[in-house]
Each structure stands twice: as structure tokens, then as C-alpha cells.
Amino acid sequence: MDAKARILPNGEAAPAAVLDSPTNPMVTPLLTDLYQYTMAYAYWKAAKHNDRAVFDLYFRRNPFGGEYTIFAGLEECIKFIANFKLNEGEISFVRQSLSGSCEDGFFDYLRELDCSEVEAYAIPEGSVVFPKVPLMRIEGPVAVVQLLETPLLNLVNFASLVATNAARHRFVAGKSKMLLEFGLRRAQGPDGAITASKYCYIGGFDATSNVAAGRLFGIPLRGTHSHAFVSSFMSPDEIIEKSLKSSDGSTNCEDFVSLVHTWLNKIQAVQWSKSSNGMFGQTNHSELAAFTSYALAFPGSFLALVDTYDVMRSGIPNFCAVALALNDLGYKAGGIRLDSGDLAYLSSEARKFFQSIEKEFRIPGFGKTNITASNDLNEETLDALNKQGHEVDAYGIGTYLVTCYSQAALGCVFKLVEINSQPRIKLSEDVTKVSIPCKKRCYRLYGKEGYPLVDILTGENEPIPKVGERILCRHPFNESKRAFVVPQKVDDLLKCYWPGTSGKPRVELPSLKETRERCIKQLEQMRPDHMRRLNPTPYKVSVSGKLYDFIHFLWLNEAPVGELQ
Ligand SMILES: Nc1ncnc2c1ncn2[C@@H]1O[C@H](COP(=O)(O)OP(=O)(O)OP(=O)(O)O)[C@@H](O)[C@H]1O
Ligand SMILES: O=P(O)(O)OC[C@H]1O[C@H](OP(=O)(O)OP(=O)(O)O)[C@H](O)[C@@H]1O
Ligand SMILES: O=C(O)c1cccnc1
Ligand SMILES: [Mg+2]
């Protein structure tokens, strides 16, 4: 998307930012919680606003009962950071929204504020990630980093949740199936829909029906037609323009409607002679008119929704009549869509029908005609279809996918882990909610078989784990859980995407396609028992011995000692 020119406090357009703005123009410095601005003022009033803070963005539990998550939303976060600047209107709204006693100097400070002193480190977007490991580490003046908390969480939470949901659907569907995202009409508003389209693609979907997402992100667009199109036709007489040129342009069929009828008669004659139950009688002629019209409009990609009247008695023979007529003119039909009924049974019956047509009329490949299924599909229905056996080639999935029906939110948090080089910890009665202090480094260690074995967090200045060298990996909170690992490969997970004034090189944002490829490749590399749907094995996330000792030292230091009476 083109960068939207932002207006600076002096009324001038901001200089061309290094990166485009976030996709959604609502993503501005005001897209944050009020308390971020009240804290920013209080930091400023206490002359603490430039204290150097380090925050970790992470989640505590994998979604959907699984043991993995896909990290997504990073590109939008970095674009937000790169373009972070309040304009005069935004400053005056913040002024109105804070109590009247705020000093003018604070608003002068806001006027100058940007992310030039912020550093952002992150795991590459599209990576497989695990609880407690920082997906992003944001360093910088505490007041500005605090203002970033809510928008960064907003940009990562749903993006990662829906990318994970898409990856899970892909896992059940299998590699060879085409997955189409059809969720726009049922998504949570325009941003929910566009966001879902983008991140379902990263999570392994092949295409979307969402035209705006196709334009914004270059995601392949696919679609069929609806029941309304089929039922809008009353009779073949409605078709005025009946001629169709052959695919190579060499001949012209003057009456394609008659050609379709001829084929329907042939199909009916053959099927009638074979069927003992009289199943292949008359098909619905208004449906045939709809299919014929659609084929005249799109002869090269004719698709038919076959369940408006009766799939086996009408939709399939009508489709075949049109497809065979198209075949005469050198066109290959795109396939059918089933949108109701028993999808396992109907897809298998449709396949048999296509195969019998291939045999009967000697049309090579007709038996392989594409079958798309839709209608309230989700992980469970895909799994059920696999168990029953089916002949579906492509799935169109909407509601359950884009609304993340089985889990509403991922629950990423943004916690202070260090200020002015002093490590900080957040305690909780619930040990899973205790934060891991310190500016950390994060590594993924791979085992002999090439699978990732464990992620390990260490202090910033600890030596980097080395290939072939034994390292102790400890559970951060459970003393007895520990293991030695001799890594065969070590990945340093956090990369510098926004260097601030550090002088470090900035890692370029990859294209959407590259991010999708990373996601697919990383999922394939996982050990299968972490990926299975039922009782998957948890992936281990650990800390170094040194970090373990420090966490527990700080914990004891910060936790008040109670008195029993
Ligand atoms: N073979 C199958 N095994 C398991 N679930 C299936 C199978 N076939 C279809 N389903 C699912 O069963 C549900 C059927 O939906 P529903 O009860 O609304 O009927 P329908 O087929 O849509 O009927 P209608 O013609 O009224 O629209 C959908 O969620 C669909 O994905
Ligand atoms: O079922 P989903 O996974 O959400 O996928 C998208 C659905 O949207 C369309 O239905 P439509 O809006 O025409 O409504 P209906 O099929 O429920 O009648 C389409 O035919 C799919 O059934
Ligand atoms: O193109 C389709 O078939 C489609 C698109 C959106 C929703 N349902 C179906
Ligand atoms: Mg439906």
C-alpha cells in the first residue's frame, strides 16, 4: 500500500518515511489505551520519560489446544513504529482527553516524539513460536515504548491467532488440497476481514475471495458463484447471446445452448440405461440455464455451484452437460462447488459420475474434475471428512476460520523486563504469569534429526550456544525440569528490524510470499508429535542456568515475606 502522507505539527507533510504506513489508516498513535498517555505524562512529570526501558512481547499459552503458534503482524508493527508521529489534531485531542492540569511542556514533548530512539528486535514473521519466548523486544525511552504497548499487541494478537488457525486448517486438510478463504462476509468488521485474509494466506491458505485483500497484498483471488445466480434464472429462453468461439478462436459455435442440450440428452440416455432407480430423469432447466450463462461469460474457468436444487439428480448432470459442450470447443471446465449436504458422500458420488463420463465419452482427465466443498467447515469437519474418505480437492472456509471461532484471543502481553539496565520482574500467584526478567537473547536449538528441540532464553551477555557443545536447558520455574542439549544447529531468533540509534543494520521486511514460505517451511520442520491435534507433545522452552538463578534471586528479592499470625 502506498504510504499515506501524514501531516506534521507544523502543518507540513512528513518527509517520506523509510517504510510505508500500516495498512489500516486507523493505526495511529491514538490507537492506544488512555492509560498509556496518562503514564506518559506521569513519566514526563517525574522526568523519567527518557529512562531506557526494555519490554518483551510474548504470549503464555498456545491457542486452539495446540502446542504451536505462528507469529504474525510484525510488518505492520514495524511500519507503525517507522511512521510514529503525532499530528497537531492528535496532540490537541490528547490534551482534551487528559486532565486540564497537564503542563504545556508535555505537549511540546509529544510534538517532537517519534521512534528514532526506539529499537525493535523480533522473531521473523511467519515463524513457528512458543509461549514465554519474546516475539518482539522493544527498547527505548520508557514513555514512548509505553505508548506502543497497546497498538503492537493489537497488531500481533489477532494476526498471530488467525495465522495459527489457518495453519491448523492446512494441517488437517493436507498439503495437496487447495484452501480458499471465504470469510469476508462473516468477519468481525472490515479490519477483521482484511487482517484475516492477509494472515490466512501467511498461514498456508492459497487464495481469498476478498477483492480488497487481493489488491492490497497481492493475494491470489478465487471464487465461484452463489445460489442467487443459479436461482435468478427461470428458463434457457432467457439466454439471448448464444454463440461461443472455440478456445483457439478457430471456430464459432452459433448455438451453445443447443450444444449443451445435446450433451445433456446424451448423458441422460447413458445414465438412464445404467440406473436401476430412475435417478437420472429430468434435471432442473433453470439451473442449466444459469450454468450455460456462466459458461458463456467465463468459458475458460467455468465453475458451477451444484446444490441449489438437487446435487446428484440435477446439479452434477447439468454441470457435466455444460462442461462437455465446453470441451467440444477446447475449454476445460474449472469444476463444481458443493455447499450443503453430506460432503463426503456427495463428493464421492460426484467423482464416480465424472469418472463414468470420462470413460463413456472418452474425455481424458474428466474424472479428475475439481470438487470444491464449503459450508460451515472447520478443523473438526475436515478431520471427519478425512476419516470418512472423500473426493474434495478444494475447501472454501469462512466463518470458523476468520472469526477464530474456537478461541477468541491469543493473549499476548507486553512486559517491562529492564529499566536503566536494571532487570525487572512481574510476580503473580499464578507461576505461568511471572515474567522472565532481563534483556534476553533467544535461540532455537536443533537436534540430530533436524527437528527443533528446545528454545532457550539467556541473559544478553551470556555466550552464544555453540553447535556440538553441551548446554544446560532449565525450565524457567520448575527446579527439577532440566536437560542437557548438544545442538546440531543454533538459530538466533531475535533480529533487528528497527535499529533506533544503535547503528545496527536493519533487517529488511520480507514480501508476503516469503513470509508465507517461511511459515510453511517451519511447520514442515516440526516434529510430528508437537503438531498432532489430539494431545500434542509440548515443545520445550527453557532458560540458561545463569538466567534461572537470576530469575529466582530477583523473585526472592522482590517478593515481600509474609507474617503468619
Ligand atoms: N460427511 C460429513 N461429515 C461431517 N460433517 C459434515 C459432512 N458433510 C457436511 N458436514 C458438515 O455438516 C454441517 C451440515 O450443515 P447443516 O446441518 O446446516 O446442513 P446443510 O447441509 O447446510 O443443509 P441445508 O441444505 O439446509 O443448507 C456443516 O457444518 C458441514 O460442514
Ligand atoms: O460457511 P462458511 O465457512 O462461513 O463459508 C462461506 C459461506 O458463505 C456462503 O454462504 P452464504 O452466505 O450464501 O450463506 P449460506 O450458505 O449459509 O446460506 C458460501 O456458500 C459458504 O457456505
Ligand atoms: O466464491 C465463492 O464461492 C464464495 C465466496 C464467498 C463466500 N462464499 C462463497
Ligand atoms: Mg453456507
Render 73-85 in DSSP notation, one character per residue: -HHHHHHHHHT--
Do 347 and 412 lie in a common domain? no
* Ligand nearest the Cα atom of residue 381: 1
Do 352 and 255 lie in a common domain? yes
Per-residue pLDDT of 412-466, as tens digits, reads 999 999 999 999 998 888 888 888 999 999 999 999 999 999 999 999 999 999 9
Is residue 93 situated within a structural domain?
Answer: yes
Q: Please give the pLDDT value at position 276.
A: 53
Per-residue pLDDT of 145-159, as tens digits, reads 999 999 999 999 999
Burial class (CB in 10 A: 0-12, 13-18, 19+), 402: buried
Is residue 502 situated within a structural domain?
Answer: yes
Higher pLDDT, 428 or 371: 371
- Check pLDDT > 70 for residue 8: no
The angle at the Cα of 176, spanning 173 to 181, to the nearest 5 degrees, equals 55
Is residue 6 situated within a structural domain?
Answer: no
- Check pLDDT > 70 for residue 14: no
**Confidence bin at 388 (pLDDT 50/70/90):** very high
Do 364 and 268 lie in a common domain? yes
Which residue's CA is minimally distant from atom 23 of ligand 1?
340
CA nearest neighbour of 336 among 365, 286, 374, 289: 374
Percentage of the chain beyond pLDDT 70 is 96
Cell readout for 228 is 442467487
Per-residue pLDDT of 499-519, as tens digits, reads 999 999 999 999 999 999 999
Is residue 194 situated within a structural domain?
Answer: no
As a whole number, the mean pLDDT across the chain is: 95
- Check pLDDT > 70 for residue 10: no
Q: Please give the pLDDT value at position 267.
A: 96
Decide whether any atom of ligand 1 lies within 6 Å of the 380 Cβ: no
Q: Please give the pLDDT value at position 2.
A: 40
Q: Are 350 and 392 in contact (CB under 8 A)?
A: no
Per-residue pLDDT of 520-561, as tens digits, reads 999 999 999 999 999 999 999 999 999 999 999 999 998 889
The helix (run of H) or strand (run of E) holding residue 458 is strand 452-459
* Ligand nearest the Cα atom of residue 399: 2
Cell readout for 147 is 505508548
Cβ-Cβ contacts under 8 Å for 284 (sequence gap 6 or more): 308, 309, 310, 314, 318
Do 359 and 450 lie in a common domain? no
Q: Please give the pLDDT value at position 3.
A: 38
Task: Quote the domain boundaries for residue 124.
Answer: 34-168+407-558
- Check pLDDT > 90 for residue 12: no
- CA dihedral 377→378→383→385, nearest 10 degrees, is 0
Rounded to the nearest angstrom, the distance between the alpha carbon of 340 and the centre of ligand 4 is: 7
Do 500 and 544 lie in a common domain? yes
From 227, 311, 379, 381, give the residue whose CB has the most ligand 1 atoms within 8 Å, as the site to mutate. Answer: 381
Decide whether any atom of ligand 1 lies within 6 Å of the 376 Cβ: yes
CATH number of the domain that residue 261 is part of: 3.20.20
Q: Please give the pLDDT value at position 66.
A: 98
Cβ-Cβ contacts under 8 Å for 321 (sequence gap 6 or more): 260, 261, 263, 264, 267, 283, 288, 291
Overall domain count for the chain: 2
Per-residue pLDDT of 261-294, as tens digits, reads 999 999 999 876 776 555 567 899 999 999 999 9
Is residue 178 situated within a structural domain?
Answer: no
Is residue 394 situated within a structural domain?
Answer: no
**Confidence bin at 335 (pLDDT 50/70/90):** very high
Q: Please give the pLDDT value at position 515.
A: 98
Decide whether any atom of ligand 1 lies within 6 Å of the 375 Cβ: yes
Rounded to the nearest angstrom, the distance between the alpha carbon of 375 and the centre of ligand 4 is: 4
Render 184-229 in DSSP notation, one character per residue: GGGSSHHHHHHHHHHHHHHTT--EES-HHHHHHH-PPB-----HHH
Q: Residues within 5 Å of ion ligand 4 by Cβ?
A: 375
Is residue 77 situated within a structural domain?
Answer: yes
Domain boundary among 350, 371, 392: 371
CATH number of the domain that residue 138 is part of: 3.20.140.10
**Confidence bin at 204 (pLDDT 50/70/90):** very high
Do 348 and 257 lie in a common domain? yes
Do 419 and 538 lie in a common domain? yes
Do 421 and 508 lie in a common domain? yes
> ipTM of the assembly?
0.96
Q: How far, CA to CA in Å, does 385 sit from each of 120, 306, 345, 382, 482?
A: 44, 19, 9, 5, 41
Per-residue pLDDT of 33-57, as tens digits, reads 999 999 999 999 999 999 999 999 9
What residues pair up with 277 in beta bridges, in sequence order? none
Do 272 and 162 lie in a common domain? no
Rounded to the nearest angstrom, the distance between the alpha carbon of 388 and the centre of ligand 4 is: 21
Is residue 113 situated within a structural domain?
Answer: yes
> What beta strand segments (E) does 13-135 contain?
52-59, 69-70, 119-122, 128-129
Do 364 and 428 lie in a common domain? no
Percentage of the chain beyond pLDDT 90 is 91
Cell readout for 214 is 487481493
Do 159 and 248 lie in a common domain? no
Do 431 and 549 lie in a common domain? yes
Rounded to the nearest angstrom, the distance between the alpha carbon of 376 and the centre of ligand 4 is: 6
Q: Please give the pLDDT value at position 479.
A: 93
Decide whether any atom of ligand 2 lies within 6 Å of the 407 Cβ: no
Rounded to the nearest angstrom, the distance between the alpha carbon of 396 and the centre of ligand 2 is: 9
